[in-house]
Amino acid sequence: MNARLCMTICVMACIALLGIATAENVIDEIVNTAMKELPFEKGNHNILIMTNIGYAQGSEMYLDDFLSKVSELELSVSKNVIFVHNSYNKPLWFAFFDKSTGNCIYIEIKNGKIIKQAKENIAASNLLSNPEDWDAKMKSKVFSGNEFSVMTIANVWAKGMPWELQKSAEFHNHICPGLTAGYLIAQYLKKELPLESGEEYQILAVPPWCKDDALQVIFDSTVGKRKMVVKTVEKPIPSDLAGIYIKWNKKEGKGNGVVLTFDWGKACKDAGINRSDFKDFKSYKWWYARLKLDLWMMDYLNKPEYFISKVKEFKIDSNTLNKLKTAGVNPLIELGVIVEKPKVEEKKSPLPFEASVIGLVVAAVIFSILKRKS
């Protein structure tokens, strides 16, 4: 036996003895577990794999093997995998969903080993017909707190979501009606205020909500590039206000803008949802309303004008744009969308110095009167 072969055998024996898992072994174990438990065979295009691989700290070491495995399974990276954005300090997880059954296997990894595995049926029809049962499982964090992400992405994907909504869902890490509204606003702007060569959208996120994550992804109008400014302004504001959008020509230093609203009252009424349920975080209603509306809105993805209206149209130059973006400036007042509240003059109480001068004058007058009388 030559020295090289001897060394290889020693290294392999050490790996076996110490139980050191290679990246390839880990991915094999995850996929084999999912294939056995879900179950599914390779080439099954009803399968969606959701994972935060590449975001969880250190998980990039598994990425090449994961992508090879996806191709070995004869699945498409663009159609059958969703890379869910998470903070670096979240554990690495995978969820395999079969849209033909609604079954889902959740697998969590720590130090190269499977530390959690759970199987649930998350088909929307099941969750919406037994909301209390699923709510108890959500409260017990059956998918380690990723339940809302997994169930909304999986069920919207099963209905066939467009690519721009899928990219937005990856960044936002769940699908809620607010994110879908952002997708719809993007489609509305493409029709109503289309970009010409050299133009970009400048966005004032007033007020900010989930829509702004979709808009940053679709238009690259990101906060860091100062193409989006986020402002929470003092109330009152127009109801259902959904932001200020400017088609901006940087070279010419001018643009056209619109102030938009999104009719949530109409969406909720048509979908048969009580609007107040969105804020009911004590019961199942908060997620029930979101999931139901998510699915309902899928039939309206080509009809943004059904929900979106223009409150105002305006032309703008660079000085005004800079002013609108500045902290402390309410862009709704500047654009004449709302009228500035008249400032109430506070009653000035006399300052201590002024009070003492008045006191001295009064004392001097009284003294002089008394002196004259005596």
For Zn ion, the binding residues (CB under 5 A) are 176, 178, 210
Based on CB atoms, which residue is closest to Zn ion, 131 or 177?
A: 177
Characterize the bridge pairing of strands 47-51 and 81-83: parallel
Q: C-alpha dihedral over 278, 269, 233, 167, to 10 degrees? A: 70
Q: Which is nearer to Zn ion, 102 or 177 (CB)?
A: 177
Distance CA 210, CA 173 (A): 11
CB of 174 to Zn ion, least distance (A): 6
Nearer to Zn ion, 75 or 184 (CB): 184
- Strand-pairing partners, residue 47, are 98
Q: Is 112 helix (H, G, I), strand (E, B) or coil?
A: coil
Q: Which is nearer to Zn ion, 179 or 332 (CB)?
A: 179
How many Å apart are CA 33 and CA 44, to the nearest integer?
16
CB of 168 to Zn ion, least distance (A): 10
* Burial class (CB within 10 angstroms; exposed 0-12, middle 13-18, buried 19+) of 156: buried
Phi and psi for 304 in degrees, rounded to 5?
Answer: -60, -30
User: CB of residue 34 vs Zn ion: minimum separation in angstroms?
Assistant: 27
Minimal distance in Å, beta carbon 290 to Zn ion?
8
Min dist. Cβ of residue 56 to Zn ion (A): 21
Closest CB to Zn ion among 22 and 87? Answer: 87
d(CA 232, CA 130): 38
Q: Which of 165, 163, 159, 195 is nearest to 178 (CA)?
A: 165
| Smallest gap from residue 348 Cβ to Zn ion (A) | 47
* Min dist. Cβ of residue 146 to Zn ion (A): 14
Task: For Zn ion, give the closer residue by CB, 46 or 232.
Answer: 232
Give CA–CA dist 132/150, Å, rounded.
18
Nearest-approach distance from CB 247 to Zn ion, in angstroms:
26
Cβ neighbours of 115 (radius 10 Å): 12
Q: Which residues contact 71 (CB under 8 A, 6 or more apart)?
A: 77
Please answer whether residues 195 and 201 qualify as being in contact, where contact means their C-beta atoms are separated by less than 8 angstroms. yes
Give whichever of 192 and 280 is closer to Zn ion, judged by the CB atom: 280
Please give the Cα distance from 224 to 246 (Å, whole number).
17
